[in-house]
């Protein structure tokens, strides 16, 4: 049996998405900036996808800008808003558990003279709202907090953060990386007071290489790349129309029966968690339980074994999982997220992340719960580190 449980890294492209994209490689290949019929056909397809995605987050179609993915969306939102508002202030607040696509951008801004403060998180990964209040000052121009932590599944209090920022005496822009939450956790940019938000198609069974930035109307922002302007001034170059169409179809599929899809993933998540805790000793859950955890995320450390070894032995049994965030699986350092929540390095090295999709089944979870305890037991037998070492 083949079981794919690394949907937090990327997902299989749905067949309906492929079917929707194909015509835009062949008979509907026009450039969307031109007014002849082929071009207009492409432009209409882009506008339709703007409408589809805007509806899923309670935004306006014109507030959706297509990018190459959430990484570019994060960069554009954070640097673009920072540069456009640098005369008002140079202070930005983010968290210690952000994806590298946010942390690396903040490092760049620090080199450019901006001051970055990093919010601490508690042992379950939740940001400290009192610390946020205390860090805000008259030079604060932007706060960036991810909606769902892509490693440990923590759903951050985005609505509460938005309220704090809305109540300040001066405007502070709020950016949210929603790549791990879109189509898994409800999002309403109005109720959550979000000014900019990043999402990605390949996390929801769409194609790789396309994402979107929601940007609230009239938000000051500067482009970070320059060149030929087609439909979007902030994103120069010719639009990837087939991928954009695929993104729209993937969003339609994900939100058609959203509650049913989420409940399906939640049941599988809880089944997997219960089975792991019942069948395997010396495990540590990372992140919260229940409604404050992503329905698609399970992350445990299996003490006295290396996560890489677990991954490889599961792969030999047809099961695909991850040892950490998608951006750090080839590194030997412990996950920065697990370190931030206080996990010891020797425990963090034994962490395995399982991420679900609506296409996973109960039978697959049962197979994992049959194989995983055997793998852990075998690895512990040959491990030089024995129970009680930490």
Domain chopping of the chain, boundaries: 3-10+258-382, 15-255
User: Based on C-alpha coordinates, what's the Rg of the chain?
Assistant: 21
pLDDT at 334: 87
Long-range contacts of residues 52-57, Cβ cutoff 8 Å, at least 24 apart = 52/248, 52/251, 52/252, 53/199, 53/212, 53/247, 53/248, 53/251, 54/214, 56/182, 56/183, 56/187, 56/251, 56/255, 57/182, 57/187, 57/188, 57/189, 57/197, 57/214
Does residue 146 contact residue 119 with C-beta atoms inside 8 Å? Answer: no
Angle at 36 between CA 30 and CA 38, to 5 degrees: 30
Exposed (0-12), middle (13-18) or buried (19+): which is 294, by Cβ within 10 Å? buried
Neighbours of 384 (CB within 10 A): 6
Residue ranges in the chain modelled with pLDDT below 50: 325-326, 328-329
The catalytically annotated residue of 129, 327, 369, 385 is 327
DSSP string covering 80-122: HHHHHTTTT--EEEEETT--HHHHHHHHHHHHTT-EEEEE-B-
Which CATH number describes the domain made up of 3-10+258-382?
3.90.1150.10
The verdict on whether 106 is a catalytic residue reads no
Task: Using DSSP, state whether 372 is helix, strand or coil.
Answer: helix
Taking the C-alpha atoms of residue 112 and residue 115, their distance in angstroms, rounded to an integer, is 9
Angle at 130 between CA 126 and CA 133, to 5 degrees: 115
pLDDT at 326: 47
Give per-residue pLDDT as tens, 61-85: 999 999 999 999 999 999 999 999 9
CATH of the structural domain 15-255, one choice from 3.40.1000.10, 1.20.140.10, 3.40.50.970, 3.40.640.10: 3.40.640.10
pLDDT at 385: 73
Taking the C-alpha atoms of residue 265 and residue 229, their distance in angstroms, rounded to an integer, is 41
Does residue 264 contact residue 358 with C-beta atoms inside 8 Å? Answer: yes
Neighbours of 256 (CB within 10 A): 9
Of 201, 229, 284, residue with least CA distance to 11: 201
Q: How do 297-302 and 351-355 pair as beta strands?
A: antiparallel
Give per-residue pLDDT as tens, 211-252: 999 999 999 999 999 998 888 999 999 999 999 999 999 999
pLDDT at 330: 55
């Amino acid at each position: 049996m083949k079981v794919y449980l690394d949907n937090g890294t990327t997902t299989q492209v749905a067949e309906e998405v492929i079917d929707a994209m194909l015509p835009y490689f062949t008979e509907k290949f026009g450039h969307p900036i031109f007014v002849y019929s082929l071009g207009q056909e492409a432009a209409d397809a882009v506008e339709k996808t703007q409408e589809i995605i805007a509806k899923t987050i309670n935004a306006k179609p014109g507030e959706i800008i297509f990018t190459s993915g959430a990484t570019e969306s994060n960069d554009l939102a954070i640097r673009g808003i920072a540069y456009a508002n640098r005369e008002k202030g140079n202070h930005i607040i983010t968290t210690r558990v952000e994806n590298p696509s946010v942390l690396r951008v903040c490092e760049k801004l620090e080199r450019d003279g901006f001051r970055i403060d990093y919010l601490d998180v508690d042992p379950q990964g939740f940001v400290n709202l009192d610390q946020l209040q205390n860090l805000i000052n008259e030079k604060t121009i932007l706060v960036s907090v991810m909606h769902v932590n892509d490693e440990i599944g923590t759903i951050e209090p985005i609505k509460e953060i938005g309220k704090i920022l809305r109540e300040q005496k001066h405007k502070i822009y709020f950016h949210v990386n929603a790549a791990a939450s879109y189509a898994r956790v409800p999002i309403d940019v109005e109720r959550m007071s979000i000014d900019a938000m990043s999402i990605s198609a390949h996390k929801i069974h769409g194609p790789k290489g396309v994402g979107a930035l929601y940007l609230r109307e009239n938000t000051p922002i500067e482009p970070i790349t320059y060149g030929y302007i087609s439909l979007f001034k902030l994103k120069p170059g010719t639009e990837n129309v087939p991928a954009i169409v695929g993104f729209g179809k993937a969003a339609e599929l994900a939100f058609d029966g959203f509650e049913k899809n989420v409940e399906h993933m939640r049941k599988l998540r809880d089944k997997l968690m219960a089975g792991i805790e019942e069948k395997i000793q010396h495990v540590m859950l990372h992140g919260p339980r229940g409604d404050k955890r992503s329905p698609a995320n399970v992350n445990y450390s299996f003490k006295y074994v290396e996560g890489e070894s677990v991954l490889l032995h599961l792969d030999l049994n047809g099961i695909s999982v991850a040892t950490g965030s998608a951006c750090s699986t080839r590194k030997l350092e412990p996950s920065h997220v697990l370190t931030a929540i206080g996990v010891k390095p020797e425990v963090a090295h034994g962490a395995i992340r399982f991420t679900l999709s609506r296409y996973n089944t109960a039978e697959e979870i049962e197979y994992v719960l049959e194989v995983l305890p055997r793998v852990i037991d075998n690895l512990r037998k040959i491990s030089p580190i024995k129970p009680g070492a930490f």
